[in-house]
Amino acid sequence: MSRAIPEAEYLVIGSGVAGLRAALELCHVGRVIVLTKGHPLQSNSIFAQGGVAVALSEEDDVAIHLTDTLKAGCGLCRREAVRVLVEEGPSRIQELIRWGARFDKTGGKFAFAREAAHSRSRILRARGDATGNEMVRALLSQVIRQKQIIRLDYHFTVDLVVEEGRCCGAVVLDENSGEQFILPAKAVLLSSGGAGQIFARTTNPPNATGDGMAMAFRAGAELQDMEFVQFHPTALYLPSSPPFLLSEAMRGEGGQLRNNKGEAFMQRYHPLGVLAPRDIVARAIWAEMAATRARHVYLDVTHLGSNFVKRRFPTIYATCLRHDIDITEEWIPVSPSAHYMMGGVATDINGATTLPGLFAAGEVACSGVHGANRLASNSLLEGLVFGMRAGAAAIAWASRCSMPDLTLHRERLRCGGADRLDDAEKLRSSLRRTMWGQVGLVRSRESLIRATAQLARWEQMVSQSFATRTDLEVKNMVQVAHCVAEAALWRENSVGAHYRADYPKPQRPGWKLHSRLRLSEQVTDRGGSRKGGKVALLRPPKTG
């Protein structure tokens, strides 16, 4: 007996901060289906520790927040997008507070912290270092109350459906039954998060495999600024364990970085020391590791006091203790790890992509708000602000559309077959090592040429349709990694998070251009989306 497939005018793919806020906007005018692969509490948003940046303190204002964001973005931010972020951010946070979000206070007032490259203390936090978790909790509590929102957990989105140049649905895999089916929609909103898992070392959870970027790319949407991958300077380094993020707030509260000789070294690299922008701190650590032939450096918070550390960083303290590291008494071994994608599916300031009917918000999207280097703690605010705006834009679009008839696409899906990928885990591991070694923190033309050649070969291996989440994730990782490597090869200068050892200078002719990629030589697959072809770098527009 075939399953009963729900119907809705709007489809939201992903359930982090951006997706949940978008769903709450959309449900005012129609039914919404929110698709989540795996468990709903496994999004990147849940793991965001440090806080959310917003100009709400007495010493701050939106103009200063705008200036700090533009400065961190190294001249490549879209100014209009940044203006939207900082001006609408306070209202979105106040709205979240009305919905029950509880941010930390001191003496009855919000306790604002400072992080790298912020000129004011503007970081709101919750439960010390569980800000993302608290924000998702508050949003979910609202979503649960809305009868117009249908949540489908453990449902993996395989591909977008395109009909006559319009995105009008998605092919979905039920992870429990293995069944694939098509969900039609007047508008589709991507909020599926980032792609940190394409690197061997990453702070991202295992499900951050770039699915939204890959499926949008296959459907014909453009990607922008894919070379800009932020590497967090301080992830816990333990050879037998995956990296665990050690919040930048630890340095904001006075933590020091020391090499294996015990020397505090950051003043040698930047006047702001440990509070320099993330890309500078990450490369400084990399240089110290190379100079001392070490696999890590140390983060020292022992001088801050045991009670303060336990109260301010309870999650980090407990996690490190499980690995037999008492951070109140011992230095913490740390090294850089891939953390955040500044690039993604190209959008305007309302979340509209270059593919009609498709909208995007959060880390999957590139609105231009981060430029070449994200200002710390702007990402959760971005999810709220642009999640709401993308939802509003999708409503306006859908008001002019009728529900699509996807009978033909369903027939293609029913008649088509699906393959299995030989040794998917081996390919996944090889890909992640290649990206870390060749397209990581320090890049060069030679390493990028090797990487793009290998990735092109792997892309041929994964060009067909697959039936399982594991195989589909590997396919997405290969395609997103190829886009990152191609964009990094194209940008022959160093700026922000993108560092080329062969082009260390930030300014060369055309340096203010943005990389834009799309798929060429497209063919249509059984779900109606386009696949195959080659990565095509477009001549990009100047920054605005």
Residues tagged active-site: 278
CA angle 377, 379, 383 (to 5 degrees): 140
**DSSP conformational letter for 353:** B
HSE-up (13 A, CA, CB side) for residue 270: 18
DSSP 319: H
Q: Which residue in 364, 120, 383 sits closest to 252, CA to CA?
A: 120
Render the burial of 411-425: b for 16+ CB within 10 Å, e for the rest: ebbeeeebeebeebe
Q: Is 12 helix (H, G, I), strand (E, B) or coil?
A: strand
Nearby residues of 86 by Cβ (< 8 Å), 6 or more positions away: 55, 62, 65, 66, 69
Residues 6+ apart with CB under 8 A from 359: 22, 187, 188, 189, 190, 347, 350, 351, 352, 353, 390, 391, 393, 394, 397
> How many whole angstroms separate alpha carbon 256 and alpha carbon 330?
12
Strand, coil or helix: 89: helix
The full length of the chain comes to: 544
Q: Which residues contact 2 (CB under 8 A, 6 or more apart)?
A: none
To the nearest 10 degrees (0 to 180), the angle between helices 79-98 and 62-72 is: 130
